[in-house]
Amino acid sequence: MKRLVTIFSLLIFLSITISGIAFSNNITIAIKEGMKTLNIKKSDPNLSVLTNVSYVKLNGKTTEKYVDLIQEITGCSIGKGNLLFFHRPTSYPLKIVLFRKDTKDSVVITYKGNDQDIKMVKINIDGEKATIPKYWKKLEASLGRSDAFSIVTILNAWEKGAPYDFLKCCEFHNHLCPGVTSGYFIVSYILKKYPLKKGEKYIFIACPPWCKDDAIQILLDLTPGKRSLFVKQLSSIQKKDLPEGIAGILVKWNNKEKKGKGVVFQFNRKKAYEEIGGVKIRDFKPKGGKSNPLFWTTRIKVDWALMPYLNKPEMFISTIKEFNVTYDKLIKLTLAGVNPYNVIGLTSKH
């Protein structure tokens, strides 16, 4: 009898263990199969991985354990800078993208938590080919519009040697677009021209907001929740009164002395997008919007064109105005319903 119980409990233990193994085994098999498809070995310097694991949940469970699994099989790691992440909501399917930079081939694995339903797509994601509308359509059809944009832009930025802090901005924003690059420029410009002195902190008024503000959050740790980043939209009438490309207001604030210095920035879109990027600004908003490939290919073209200038922010960012900030002015700048450019006298009407 005792022997029977032992065997019985051993069987239960085995079946639990086996189902546990089977669970991660299918993803293991998929990743190994993907590497075979790409004809690449573990730790090959051409290999990188982009994934949303640790952001998404599977069957109600968080997915951080897959970080180790991916690392183990591919040899890619966070420390080597070739295991990259992209932000997605928790309800999103799990995605693991294997990419080899010498051929630009990729294998995209999609897993929704059902072992019988693991999808694998092999596709070439060359960043130059992605600027051709016809090829962009193919990428969209195979990967879905939003995943195609995330995968193509982040992995090709890695291939082109983007610095890791830049890739962190892309991770949070979930893709690379010229707006993120402009945010990277603004932060580099701030750190060069307006470094903090003892007792000071930054406050940023993101007005009007665009993709840049996600880079500002990541690189300066300024967030709405900590009331160090205030996001304010402008109406088209309000925008008309202001210089083109007006990007926001930085306050260097000394809380002990209750005073600070304010700076207004401008981003030179014409130079970045038309002169360097080689596109027409109007093509950022083409007829048909996002369903027109031009919407995406214009952004991707400018992404690559701006990459060699990441450490030359002053080519694109300038200071429009500097001013002193009192406690009362700081409060006014941040309040709802107040146009901050009226507060500092840059505009007066709306």
Interface residue with Zn ion among 177, 190, 251, 333 (CB under 5 A) is 177
Task: From 104-112, 148-156, 210-218, 341-349, give the range in contact with Zn ion by CB under 5 A.
Answer: 210-218
94 binds Zn ion (CB under 5 A): no
Output the smallest distance, CB 153 to Zn ion, in A: 9
Torsion of CA 236, 241, 244, 247, to 10 degrees: -80
293 binds Zn ion (CB under 5 A): no
Cβ atoms of 189 and 219 within 8 Å: the answer is no
Alpha-carbon span 200 to 261, nearest angstrom: 10
Output the smallest distance, CB 202 to Zn ion, in A: 22
**Distances in whole angstroms, Cα of residue 220 to Cα of each of 151, 154, 195:** 25, 21, 12
Residues within window 141-170 making contact with Zn ion, judged by CB under 5 A: none
**Residue 346: in which H helix or E strand, if any?**
none
Interface residue with Zn ion among 98, 211, 247, 317 (CB under 5 A) is 211
Take residue 296 and report the two structure tokens written for it.
């995406």
**Distances in whole angstroms, Cα of residue 326 to Cα of each of 134, 203, 222:** 55, 13, 20
Task: From 87-95, 196-204, 207-215, 304-312, give the range in contact with Zn ion by CB under 5 A.
Answer: 207-215
Among residues 211 and 317, whose Cβ is nearest to Zn ion?
A: 211
Alpha-carbon span 123 to 260, nearest angstrom: 52
Among residues 23 and 210, whose Cβ is nearest to Zn ion?
A: 210
246 binds Zn ion (CB under 5 A): no
27 binds Zn ion (CB under 5 A): no
Which residues lie below 8 Å from residue 11, measured CB to CB, with a gap of 6+?
none
Among residues 105 and 303, whose Cβ is nearest to Zn ion?
A: 303
Task: From 48-56, 188-196, 204-212, 223-231, give the range in contact with Zn ion by CB under 5 A.
Answer: 204-212
Take residue 3 and report the two structure tokens written for it.
């022997």
Output the smallest distance, CB 31 to Zn ion, in A: 29
Buried b (16+ CB within 10 A) or exposed e, 36-46: eebebeeebee
Cβ atoms of 53 and 171 within 8 Å: the answer is no
**Distances in whole angstroms, Cα of residue 188 to Cα of each of 99, 226, 311, 315:** 30, 22, 7, 12
Among residues 262 and 293, whose Cβ is nearest to Zn ion?
A: 293
Interface residue with Zn ion among 179, 277, 293, 340 (CB under 5 A) is 179
Output the smallest distance, CB 270 to Zn ion, in A: 19
Residues within window 297-326 making contact with Zn ion, judged by CB under 5 A: none
Output the smallest distance, CB 174 to Zn ion, in A: 8
Output the smallest distance, CB 93 to Zn ion, in A: 21
Take residue 150 and report the two structure tokens written for it.
């995330």
How many Cα atoms occupy the beta-carbon half-sphere of 335 within 13 Å?
A: 11
218 binds Zn ion (CB under 5 A): no
Residues of the shown chain interacting with Zn ion in the complex, contacts defined by CB under 5 A: 177, 179, 211
